[in-house]
Structure 1
Amino acid sequence: MNNWLESLKVILKGAWIGGTMMIPGVSGGTMAIIMGIYDHLLSAVNSLLTNKEKRVESLIFLIKFCIGGGLGILLVARPFSLLLEMFPMPVTWFFLGAVAGGIPMIYKKSGQRLLSFKGIAYVAAGMLVLLVFTFAQNRLTASGGGQITGFAGLFVAGVISSAALILPGISVSYFLLILGLYEPILAAIQTLDILYLLPLGLGVIIGIFAISGILEAWMKRYPACAYLMILGFVLVSLEEINPGIPTGIEIPICIVTCVAGFAFLYWMSTKED
């Protein structure tokens, strides 16, 4: 019974992460940390290559997570997108509150009771890294780069996108929008265009294996630095999600949705494994 419940929890967390990461501005990595599954995901990916004893266990865990993530993309992302189209301000403020709801847990994971000068420097460094990344994205948008096509181009785009997929605070959906791949990928998923999705998928998989090993080693060896820099990522990502100040009747509605998002994700973060 416990195994069944644990499997269901992994699938549901995967569905939430898969569904929400398709919302531009929302980071799948941040959601994975908030849901208490980020460390386990990194460990499972690395165990497939480096730990024979845990290889089968890790594969089963990743299959459960991918089932949930796939269901989230196919079943949850569309309703979220429709709600975002119908009620853009309240829904975006819900996600703003949701991301903010994970901040206390991320700080707790750093192991710091009081924020020292070094801790503030780590947070500032994380903010600076993401600000530079965002600036580069905006320059790429302004340059009006052409559509990425061809097996090699899509493969490289997949490798690059894997960083946005794994690193907290970076929205893979927004990143794909910058690359001009967001709508083509959604169309390819709907039509099951394997020739388009295959090189992207291969690039993402190889990128995930390469990046996750570095991240896991960093987070194990320097947890305070890692989580405080991630906190900096998340603080900057709040501005990326921010839809602006609501007006009129939307003011109380947005306050309610923001508080609801914060409370829900804060509660979920306290239920982590």
Structure 2
Amino acid sequence: MRENYLGAAIKGLLVGGTMLVPGVSGGSMAMVLGIYDRLIGAVSSFGRDKKRNFLFLAAFGAGALCGMAAFARPVLFLLKAYPLPVSYFFLGAVAGGIPLMIKKSRVSRFSWRLPAYVLLGGALVWLLSRLPQHMFSLPWRGGAQSGTAGILWGFALAAAGAVAAVALVLPGISVSYLFLMMGLYDTLMEALTRLYLPFLLPLGIGLLAGILATARLLETALRKYSQQT
């Protein structure tokens, strides 16, 4: 089947822009846009068709990065100027994708186990939201640290990226909210608006490593246990 790389880039742009809002899940938005399964498959089965998967991920990733860079300032402005309307708009967009998720799960009849899986997923999100505030933040103000402190700072950012990768892969978990809980959201938004690479590179490396580690497990779960997942 012919790959629509332009469509992947446009959807990446939308996912990248909206996932900057705390509470909005990039995974859920990707599912609403109908690109979620393709993303997980491209990452977890990358070696089966390297060229096609690489071009697809490159198109989506480029779109997502452009979306994050382009929408960082407008999203910050709208959230500060109109916090409730903007938050409810994105909440409605995600809620509108719930019927699609139910359809994808192929639930044919009700089982008492289904609410248990919903509660389990809710508990996971709650536990992630209870991470200590500023867990990964370091005393950085406007520039990268030097020497040993700079190395530790880079490793801390990579670790934060690996943790946040779970929120990127799993629908329903907001990566921005997770960054907020870790005390990195404001610094991330500032780094995006300034394209400050000493901050973004280690964070991105951690995100990539976390996604690669999580995607294959999630693809297996979605294939074998679609309703539960």
The reply on whether 1:41 has 2:30 as its aligned counterpart is no
AA partner of residue 39 (structure 1): D
In 2: Cα distance, 1:166 partner to 1:157 partner: 15
The equivalent of 2:7 in structure 1 is 9
Report the CA distance between 1:118 and its aligned residue. 2.1
4+ residue segments displaced more than 3 Å: none
Higher helix share: 1
The aligned runs of 1:1-273 (5 Å cut-off) are: 6-48=4-46, 50-51=47-48, 54-134=49-129, 136-137=130-131, 140-141=132-133, 145=135, 147-148=137-138, 150-226=153-229
Question: Deviation string for 1:114-168 (max 9, x for gaps)?
Answer: 322122222222222223333x23xx13xx6472361221221111111122121
Unaligned runs of at least 5 residues, structure 1: 227-273
- Larger RCO, structure (CA 8 Å, separation 6 or more): 1
Whether the aligned pair in 2 keeps the contact of 1:161 and 1:172 (CA below 8 Å) is yes
In 1: Cα distance, 2:189 partner to 2:29 partner: 21
Aligned residues: 216
In 1: Cα distance, 2:127 partner to 2:137 partner: 23
AA partner of residue 8 (structure 2): V
Report the CA distance between 1:105 and its aligned residue. 0.4
Whether the aligned pair in 1 keeps the contact of 2:167 and 2:173 (CA below 8 Å) is yes
Report the CA distance between 1:62 and its aligned residue. 0.5
More displaced, 147-156 or 166-175?
147-156
In 2: Cα distance, 1:187 partner to 1:216 partner: 34
AA partner of residue 89 (structure 1): L
Q: Determine helix, strand or coil for the equivalent of 1:160.
A: helix
AA partner of residue 55 (structure 2): I
Report the CA distance between 1:19 and its aligned residue. 0.4
Distance 1:10 1:120, change over 3 A: same
Unaligned runs of at least 5 residues, structure 2: 139-151
Q: Determine helix, strand or coil for the equivalent of 1:223.
A: coil
Query: Normalising by the residue count of structure 1, what TM-score does the alignment of the two structures yield?
Result: 0.73
- The percent identity for this pair of structures is 40
The equivalent of 2:144 in structure 1 is none
